[in-house]
Amino acid sequence: MPEPKPTQGHASPSKPPAPGDPIDLEALLQGDPAVFEQLVRQESPRLYRVILRIVHDEDEAASLLQETFLQAYQRLHTFRRESKVTTWLYAIGINLARASLRKSRRYDTLSDEDLERLQPRFTGFGTHAGDYEPWNPQRVAEQAERKRLVHEAIRQLPPDYRLVVTLRDIEELSTAETAEILEISEGAVRVRLHRARRALRSLLDRYFH
């Protein structure tokens, strides 16, 4: 990735930002290379994980991560301050990953019909036909083997549902941030998350009961 250059008339700060410091948005938007480097360092690990969960290919995920930051730097002037800069950054990365997935046609996931089949069934009186209780995948991912099984089940979800689970349950973003990144309503995030969790429960019940 090309080394960012400061815009004319803006000097780099005399003291480089330390790891964990808040991003200086004004300096970032003026093209300060040290602040952009800080953004890269702070957000690369988590954004890489998110992209990898979409494309399932480490080399492709690394390439897309680099392209994400390159595009972000080139498009800093388009950031409108209507959201967090990290939310804006993740939207770029996820859109690139989705485009890569469509291009490669790596769709080894459940269909929407499969997802529907995994939803709980109810009797005519509105009661659940089986034993069901609210369930969050993170609660059963404490041990290494269980964590592997959970992540393998998440991988089987259709891409839109896998993304919601990844952002909300794995990366612990808020519903509002997730909605903004995916360009859907908060209500749609809640519905997809609810259905995805139910499908995951069906996939994992045999292991945890």
pLDDT of amino acid 15: 62
Is 2's pLDDT higher than 90?
no
pLDDT digits (tens, 9 = 90+) for 78-90: 998 888 999 999 9
Within 13 Å and on the Cβ side, how many CA atoms surround 66? 8
44-48, 61-65, 128-132, 197-201: least confidently modelled range:
128-132
pLDDT of amino acid 44: 95
Length of the chain: 209
7-11, 35-39, 90-94: least confidently modelled range:
7-11
52-66, 128-142, 189-203: least confidently modelled range:
128-142
Long-range contacts at 46-53 (CB < 8 A, ≥ 24 apart):
46/171, 47/89, 47/90, 47/93, 49/170, 49/171, 50/90, 50/93, 50/94, 50/97, 50/166, 50/167, 50/171, 51/93, 51/94, 51/96, 51/97, 53/154, 53/155, 53/162, 53/163, 53/166, 53/170
pLDDT of amino acid 142: 54
Cβ contact 44:1 at 8 Å: no
pLDDT of amino acid 117: 58
Provide the percentage of residues in the chain whose pLDDT is more than 70.
Answer: 70
- Which residue, among 92, 91, 53, 57, has the nearest Cα to 71 in the 3D structure? 92
Is 192's pLDDT higher than 90?
yes
What mean pLDDT comes out for the span 3-17? 50
36-45, 70-79, 142-151, 192-201: least confidently modelled range:
142-151
What structural domains does the chain harbor?
25-104 (1.10.1740.10), 112-208 (1.10.10.10)
pLDDT of amino acid 18: 65
